[in-house]
Amino acid sequence: MTDESKQTKITIPPGAPLVACRAASCGEPIYWVKSAVGRNMPINRDGSPHFASCPAADAFRRRRQAAPAQPAPLVADLTVEEMVEQLGSSANLTSWELQFVADMAARIAGGLHITHGRGEKIRQIWDERQ
């Protein structure tokens, strides 16, 4: 089986614009048609995808963005509440950290929301003590 027989042939709809490929190293006539998901797709006159035969296809491909880095997992997957509870009984906290942890414990006991910034500070204190 040849590579050409493996390629999907696209039906070129009537009225599809025929233009020359913009690549200086190519210049082949191509049709622009809508893909199944509605994106513009260059097609050769024979109905094959132009990216399969264009010598400059890489220049037109969109670069995928790297996936965002995943945050480091919490030690033993503890919640902020569990960290506050365990830090509250810790003797190696500074007076400021002890006051902060006590304030967070009071917020949790009172059913108040712990903001993202406060949660991150608890995690930082936790990580420094482990």
Domain layout of the chain by residue ranges? 3-60, 75-129
What pLDDT sits at residue 33?
86
What pLDDT sits at residue 81?
78
Per-residue pLDDT of the chain (130 residues; tens, 9 = 90+): 445 545 678 888 888 888 888 888 888 899 888 877 778 888 898 888 888 888 887 777 766 666 665 555 444 467 777 878 888 777 677 888 888 888 888 888 888 888 888 888 888 888 887 7
- Cα 77 to Cα 111: distance, rounded to the nearest angstrom: 21
pLDDT tens by residue, 77-94: 677 778 788 887 776 778
Strand order of the β-sheet with 40-43 is 18-20, 29-34, 40-43
What pLDDT sits at residue 75?
47
What single letter denotes the amino acid at residue 26? C
- Cα 51 to Cα 42: distance, rounded to the nearest angstrom: 7
What pLDDT sits at residue 1?
44
What pLDDT sits at residue 77?
62
Q: Which helix (H) or strand (E) holds 124?
A: helix 116-129
| Closest residue by Cα to residue 86 from 44, 129, 50 | 129
pTM of the model: 0.42
pLDDT tens by residue, 17-35: 888 888 888 888 998 888 7
